Structure 1
Amino acid sequence: MSFAIRILVAGGIGLLALSQTACNMVPRYQLAQAQNRTRQLHEQNRGLLAQIQSLQQQIAGLNARDQTLQSRLDNLLAERNQLGTTRSPLSDATNRQFADLEKRYPGFEFDPQTGVSKFSNDILFESGSDELRADAGPLLSEFARILNTGEASQLNVLVAGHTDDQPVKKASTKSRHPDNWYLSAHRSINVVHELHKHGITNSRMGVAGYAEYQPRVARTSNDARRQNRRVEIFVLAPGASTAGWDPGTVKK
């Protein structure tokens, strides 16, 4: 092979080698970029999976809470429906006494058909409080006196508290009543304590709290909310039972 040909061959081989090296450098650079991007996406994916797991745990907790609250609400609704269809066990004489009480106290309502008494929260409590107003004492005293007279002294009572749809916001109120369930129940409890002071034995009484879930008026005006804030007292015959409470099993 001539010297010139050898030079050309050697040059061609050199160019081929340079070309191959250049081709190999580009894929490796792109591969490094792709690997870095893959690592970034992997880290992002791990972060998203952790967030998803956290949200799934929160959802599971909320679902469990919803089921508990729904079960509680269903029980209270069933209890209230039973009370609403119960015929009043009061005699005509007792009905007349409650009717007279209704005339003298504008914030007190009495239904002679069912024997249900309704107390406006305005005459019993200050806003957001479960402490009875000082001027609520005489009304509850007379109410207790009627229930301790004659055949009415054999009857039982269920005190049920209701709130409006406004959530508890004030920190001072929230520390005592985290939500309307607590507020409605605490008000009922304090009414029971007051009735006990006036001679109604604890074995004759029960307590319920409905929060905002049993409104008298299905509106959100100030007047509707005023009507929905109330305490109801259901008068029950001695053998009546509500929400698993059977007065017949209670030792008097």
Structure 2
Amino acid sequence: MASSTRSRRSQVTNYWPGFVDALSSLLLVIIFLLSLFMLSQFFLGQEISGKDTAMSRLNAQIAELTELLQLEKVNSSDLESTIATLSATLTSATTERDQMAAQLAGLGAGGDGKDATIAQLESDLTAQQDLSREAAAQVALLNQQLAALRTQLAALEQALQASEATDTENRTQIADLGRRLNLALAQRVQDLSRYRSDFFGKLRQVLEGRADVRVVGDRFVFQSEVLFDAGEAAISPEGQTELAKLGAAIKELQTQIPADVNWVLRIDGHTDKRPINTPEFPSNWELSAARAISVAKYLITQGVPANRLVPAGFGEFSPIDPGDSDEAYRRNRRIEFKLTE
């Protein structure tokens, strides 16, 4: 019987070299693609950031030019109103001057007795002429100012049009950059999905016929019975053998991952929903957390850096099988490993 047990363990062990090779190959491919993706995202982000800054500056200039244009239009309206008022005053003064000239001509024909009245009228006429000349000078000055304002308005409108054209061009460039970034992201996701699919296909071939280690999504799932006895958090001798292989694979992977990639190995402990209440483990939370910590400590003894390990206990609250059968309980008692950042 001891001989058959050793034979069965030898057969189980033969699956791991293929498992480790497939995992290492996938991780290398994923790390390479992620590095390319991060570089492309960084440069595209820098270019988009520069375009956003330039567009913000142009928008501020457009707003300033628009405000100046409105102020100039208001000033122009005020000057036109003043010119109209002065023109009306000039017309009125001209009319009064003509009336006084007529009165003066009539008085001159009336005799010498009206010399005083004529002198007064001549004085009034002179004053009106002075007023007319002053109003005409003001009108001429206002016309010059109005012409200058119109020139400034034309220049402001040209500057505003040029800014709007530049803004439109920048928006087009930013939209093109966004489209290119989306295409790059989509391509990277497609590449990662394809390589991950190939990797999991190889794993299924390597692990075919084994029920104690499974691939679930992006995680590797070890049944608790592989590593622990029932209700215990101490790793069994068989479990230590399996974890030693995993530790060796992680150390080999660590030498291949660039130093700037902040990766960690998550170790998630799970139990079934049957309650436990012992002095050592008052609940399934303590049991699942203790098992995850035991695995992390053992991997540390195998040379895996402690800062790369994140143990966590989930108790019975994250089941993968909601059933109440013994098989469902067995599936929910598990240790999950996931490489992540």
Q: Structure 2-normalised TM-score?
A: 0.38
Show CA shifts across 1:115-169 (max 9, x none).
Answer: x111101111111110111111121111111112246764420100000000004
Show CA shifts across 1:160-188 (max 9, x none).
Answer: 0000000004xxxx111110110000000
Separation (CA, whole Å) in 2 of partners of 1:225 and 1:127: 12
Separation (CA, whole Å) in 2 of partners of 1:100 and 1:202: 32
| Alignment of 1:90 onto 2:193 | no
Separation (CA, whole Å) in 2 of partners of 1:134 and 1:223: 24
Show CA shifts across 1:54-112 (max 9, x none).
Answer: xxxxxxxxxxxxxxxxxxxxxxxxxxxxxxxxxxx82359958966874596412235x
Which of 273, 276, 299 matches 1:168? 276
For the residue of structure 1 that corresponds to 2:339, the secondary structure is: strand
Partner of 2:236: 133
Which of 270, 287, 298 matches 1:183? 287
Conserved 8 A contact 1:90-1:152: no
Partner of 1:144: 247
In structure 1, the gaps of 5 or more residues are 1-88, 241-252
Separation (CA, whole Å) in 2 of partners of 1:134 and 1:218: 31
For the residue of structure 1 that corresponds to 2:307, the secondary structure is: helix
Separation (CA, whole Å) in 1 of partners of 2:242 and 2:205: 12
Aligned length: 144
Which of 205, 209, 213 matches 1:108? 213
- Deviating above 6 A after TM superposition, structure 1's stretches of 4 or more consecutive aligned residues are 96-101
Separation (CA, whole Å) in 1 of partners of 2:251 and 2:318: 29
In structure 2, the gaps of 5 or more residues are 1-25, 31-195, 258-262
Partner of 1:157: 265
Code of the aligned partner of 1:228:
N
Conserved 8 A contact 1:146-1:152: no
For the residue of structure 1 that corresponds to 2:27, the secondary structure is: coil
Show CA shifts across 1:199-245 (max 9, x none).
Answer: 21101011111100000101111110000000101111xxx2xxxxx
Partner of 1:120: 223
1:1-252 mapped onto 2 (5 Å cutoff): 90-91=27-28, 102=207, 106-111=211-216, 114=218, 116-150=219-253, 154=257, 155-169=263-277, 174-236=278-340, 240=341
Instruction: From the two aligned structures, give the one with the greater helix fraction.
Output: 2
Separation (CA, whole Å) in 2 of partners of 1:153 and 1:225: 38
Separation (CA, whole Å) in 2 of partners of 1:98 and 1:152: 22
Code of the aligned partner of 1:128:
G
Q: Structure 1-normalised TM-score?
A: 0.51
Distance of aligned partners of 1:167 and 1:217 in 2 relative to their CA distance in 1, 3 Å threshold: same
Separation (CA, whole Å) in 2 of partners of 1:123 and 1:117: 13
Code of the aligned partner of 1:162:
H
Q: Among all aligned residue pairs of Structure 1 and Structure 2, give the percentage whose two residues are the same amino acid.
A: 24
